Chain A
Amino acid sequence: MYNFDYVKASSVADATAALGGDAQAISGGQTLIPTLKARLGQPSSLVDLSGVAEMSGITAGDGSVTIGGAVTHHAVSESGDVPASVAALAAGIGDPAVRHRGTIGGSVANNDPSACYPSACLGLGATIHTSGGDVAADDYFQGMFDTALGEGQIVTGVTFPTPAKANYQKFVQPASRFALVGVFVSQMADGYVRVAVTGASESGVFRWSDAETALAGNFSADVVPAAPSADGMIADLHGSAAYRAHLISVMTKRAVAAC
């Protein structure tokens, strides 16, 4: 690790003022600290968001719930206010140590192509609150590790609408136990269906529109299409592009069946 200054922010304004240049935000540090230990980054200062009051806590609204950006995966997994599908997703991230430190803000900001939360955001049509304003999930995720966040901006929270039905199915990569393929399926009270896929695509989390169309007419596992095209799917040590494409269909069926 290279030396850096440490800034503990107490408000969003504080944090954004301290960010800029080579400063970098830190939340749970579960992704960032290993990177720094490997000397793969050299921030001038780390701006700690864990004490930002506006980013803490889970607030139940009317037909929605807002999770502060600094809320840990553990807190989400234990919350009775968030949709059960989101709590279950949080409970399946990493191990207890990771869940007690890692945050939803960190995960959504990082947008790892194998992370779980991005699929919940996209799969529920969430709103991402940032220090630069609110962004719809559909506009926020812009490819592997790429988001709508501007320079020096932070994720302050996420609002999830309450679905009629939702489920997340994660097929774990055997070593990291991140998602090799993860599928988040939801249906809103008005019947609107979303199917969001993480882990599979070289362009990061995406909506599988063929499945959404099929399910909008008949929300049943039987209508889930066969594997989508393997073009653009990730191929690595743990699975070929064709295998990932196949798993998308299998996991979607399982998610629909479990809804």
Chain B
Amino acid sequence: MPKDSGIGAPSKRREDVRFLTGAGNYTDDINVAGQKYVVFLRSSVAHGNLNKVDTAAAAAMPGVVHIFTGDDFAEIGGLPCGWQIHSRDGEPMAEPPHPVLARGKVRHVGDPIAAVVADSVEQARDAAEAIELDIEELPAVVDMTDAISGNAAQVHEEAPNNLCYDWGFVEENRDATMEAFEGAHHVTTLELINNRLVANPMEPRVCIGDFNAPSGESTLYTTSQNPHVIRLLMGAFVLGIPEHKLRVIAPDVGGGFGAKIYHYAEEALCTFAAKTLKMPVKWTCDRSEAFISDAQGRDHKTKIELALDADGKFLAIRTETLANMGAYLSTFAPAVPTWLHGTLMAGTYTTPLIYCNVKAVFTNTLPVDAYRGAGRPEATYQLERVIDVAAREMGIDPVEIRRRNFIPADAYPYQTPVAVAYDTGDYHGTMDKLVEVADFAGFSARREASKAKGKLRGLGICSYIEACGIAPSALVGQLGARAGLFESCTVRVNAAGGVVVMTGSHSHGQGHETTFPQVVSEMLGMPEEMIEIVHGDTGRGPMGMGTYGSRSIAVGGAAMVRATEKIIAKATRIAAHLMEASHEDVEFKDGMFSVAGTDKQVDFGSVALSAYVPHNYPLETLEPGLEETAFYDPSNFTYPAGAYACEVEVDEDTGVVEIASFAAADDFGNIINPMIVDGQVHGGIGQGIGQALLENCVYDESGQLASGSFMDYAMPRADDLPMYTVDHSSITPCTHNPLGVKGCGEAGAIGSPPAVINAVVDALQSGGHNVTHLDMPASPDRVWAAIQAAK
């Protein structure tokens, strides 16, 4: 019997009532009295010397309040990078400045040059057009291989040869890995591209800067996944505003997918403008501007080699990757192709030797940073593709080759050769589940049925793992993070019994307002409706590190459990006093305190009331009130894992690939709300299928964005996607957090691209087309071209 509330219940998403009735409160819904409007003048060329920005005529236009240019920020810090990587030679990465507004040079299409503040958006736009620019266009560098070739344009003086870093991992294993290849029975080599993506959350970014002159407090409303982090980065590193004079509010946020983690120039500009001009200012990005101002995702070029013995056991893996940073280092960009990527190269397998070399490269393109999965999809894709190719070359069934190499269920904790240690898992278990729910047994009949319709049917699988619940501060600190990655929570029990949970996690689609109360409801034995979540406001909650890396329930949820445990401990002492018993004898169950072996009892509400009306209260030993804060810093990442299967039908005449079915068998540890988990997996798979079949961010040689609108950038639509079979009944609880949870936000986007491409290749092979590999997206023209090339 499924529960109807608390942990494990499919509680309906309470936030959806306001979202679905148009009553959400998004940043653009907020208007501050007297606000002015900001419009950015952006570079229309990818690379050029910015010789002159003449604002005189524009500044005199109707409605114009002020025009900011790069010179206004000459004395102020640029946008900081939150992660430092060291190259193989021990040198720190090249970290060129990232100005708020360009000075001297523009480095990508969309690079902000000036910001006009005016009474209306249209007036600001008119004035922006009237700014006189003298840009001497320079040759642009777009392709990564060209960028480091020695004869390309230089994006930054500080980064010779456009190299940000040259990272090796695990450096100590390098020689042994190379040796393992020498004597290997079989080596499979694959070169592939992980295509660049545009996140495209439904809500484009918005920021409003406000300044209260009497108190000296700045407020920034922004579409962010982590308002506290923005407060820290912008306050401390850019504008020099102490945290007690800076409040950052991220209200309802319409999707992030990574693109709203970072600290952006527009946030700093609006905060700075409001303070300088002593008036509120608002910037609303539209879709076209989002294409040239949001950080983009992925964009790796990789050569991966897998060494195997005669039985198909993996002996060693080595990879060479070029990772595009774009024109500037976005907040967490350097971490994505390194620590979020190299550490996942063991996958679910026992491969003893792994060596990855990653060169991060500057180009005249938009900055690239984490996008749903961040590094882990790139790792999983290359690994699961090369394994499939190896299986085909060696004549081993794709399920079988994976099973021969899985980390056995009794090997935990399992120390991988790539730094991380998995706490729990059972990859045979999820594969067994997949074989069942995806009905592998019926595949050949389905293939025949497709053939009768004139279609080639393929089956592709993938076994993925990810490191989530990001993560232990001590570890990420060693790895170069310039921030801690704990989470905090305050639980406030009000006098009349209602509970407010203030979390540093941020919900922008994930459903925290529903799942977080489920946990507290279970612990305190009170209805979910009595519990409310507060998040997204540095003025209303404690410190927080935000939501990304599937960390909310694993880290933020754990902090909430710790704070609630403190509440129960204190309430137990109050109850003991009220029942005139020793607190050691008091039990708390289903919202009721009782003294063991007696009929004495007192309910939670009475205890809460006496905490605030302490007439009869142990004031000598306990403070009044019932509010507790906990900070939680986990001892390890969590390791969700699973197995995915995709079936496709390919039309040989046109190259069209249709997803015939998609099944996921995930191990997310314990589940708080199975319905919300289904939704997270559905969305992730949707994005993964988007990457695999449709989405592609393309620049032409001059650095112009060729896929700069939805006319050319193909977002997946509902009819591009199948009905999914989603199973998360395989559960190996996480051993180091109090809920035993692992996180589920990114799995779908990580596990699905290789499953789709493996299926497409399988379909083509079944039709006699000798196609070994196909880069994403497997769009109709590419599939058709691959068939022609194989003829």
Contacts and interface: CB of A to CB of B under 8 A. Distances in A.
Contacts of A1: 122
A136 to B, nearest CB: 31
Contact of A237 (B288, B653, B698): B698
Interface residues of B, number: 23
Contacts of B655: 243
Closest 5 CB pairs of A and B: A175-B714, A239-B781, A174-B714, A176-B711, A243-B781
B700 to A, nearest CB: 10
A197 interface: no
Interface in B671-720: 694, 696, 698, 706-707, 710-715
B275 interface: no
A235 B227 CA distance: 44
A239 B780 contact: yes
Nearest to A246: B784
Interface string A172-191: 00111010000000000000
B779 interface: yes
Contacts of A246: 784
A176 B710 CA distance: 6
Given A247-B654, A250-B654, A175 B713 contact: yes
B481 to A, nearest CB: 37
A89 B698 CA distance: 31
A250 B711 CA distance: 24
Contacts of A250: 653-654
A238 interface: yes
Chain B at the A interface: SS class: loop
Nearest to B779: A174
B710 A237 contact: no
Contact of A171 (B129, B654, B698): B654
Contacts of B653: 250
B125 interface: yes
A239 B779 CA distance: 9
Nearest to A95: B717
Contacts of B56: none
14 contacts: A174-B714, A174-B780, A175-B711, A176-B711, A237-B696, A237-B706, A237-B712, A238-B779, A239-B780, A240-B781, A243-B655, A243-B784, A243-B785, A246-B784
A38 interface: yes
B98 to A, nearest CB: 28
A178 B653 CA distance: 20
Given A176-B710, A247-B654, 20 more contacts: A1-B122, A38-B288, A39-B129, A171-B780, A174-B714, A174-B780, A175-B694, A175-B710, A175-B711, A176-B712, A178-B711, A238-B781, A239-B780, A239-B781, A240-B781, A243-B655, A243-B780, A243-B784, A243-B785, A250-B654
A240 B706 CA distance: 15
Contacts of A174: 694, 714, 779-780
A221 B714 CA distance: 32
User: How extensive is the interface on chain A, given as a class?
Assistant: 10 to 19
Nearest to A178: B711
Nearest to B720: A174
A237 B785 contact: no
Chain A at the B interface: SS class: loop
Contacts of A247: 654
B782 to A, nearest CB: 9
Interface string A1-45: 100000000000000000000000000000000000011000000
Interface in B758-774: none
Nearest to B693: A174
A102 B80 CA distance: 47
Nearest to A240: B781
A1 B129 CA distance: 12
Nearest to B717: A177
A14 to B, nearest CB: 29
B706 to A, nearest CB: 6
Nearest to B784: A243
A90 B293 CA distance: 36
Interface in A194-216: none
Contacts of B694: 174-175
A174 B715 CA distance: 9
Contacts of A240: 781, 785
Nearest to B696: A237
A245 to B, nearest CB: 11
Contacts of B781: 238-240, 243
A176 B714 CA distance: 7
Nearest to A250: B653
Contacts of A237: 696, 698, 706-707, 712
A190 to B, nearest CB: 32
A1 B653 CA distance: 44
Contacts of B710: 175-176
Contacts of B698: 237
Nearest to B694: A174
Contacts of B780: 171, 174, 239, 243
A150 B713 CA distance: 35
Interface string B593-629: 0000000000000000000000000000000000000
Nearest to B654: A250
B610 to A, nearest CB: 59
Contacts of A39: 125, 129
A238 B653 CA distance: 16
Nearest to B713: A175
Nearest to B286: A37
A239 B655 CA distance: 11
Contacts of A176: 710-712
Contacts of A38: 288
A1 B122 CA distance: 8
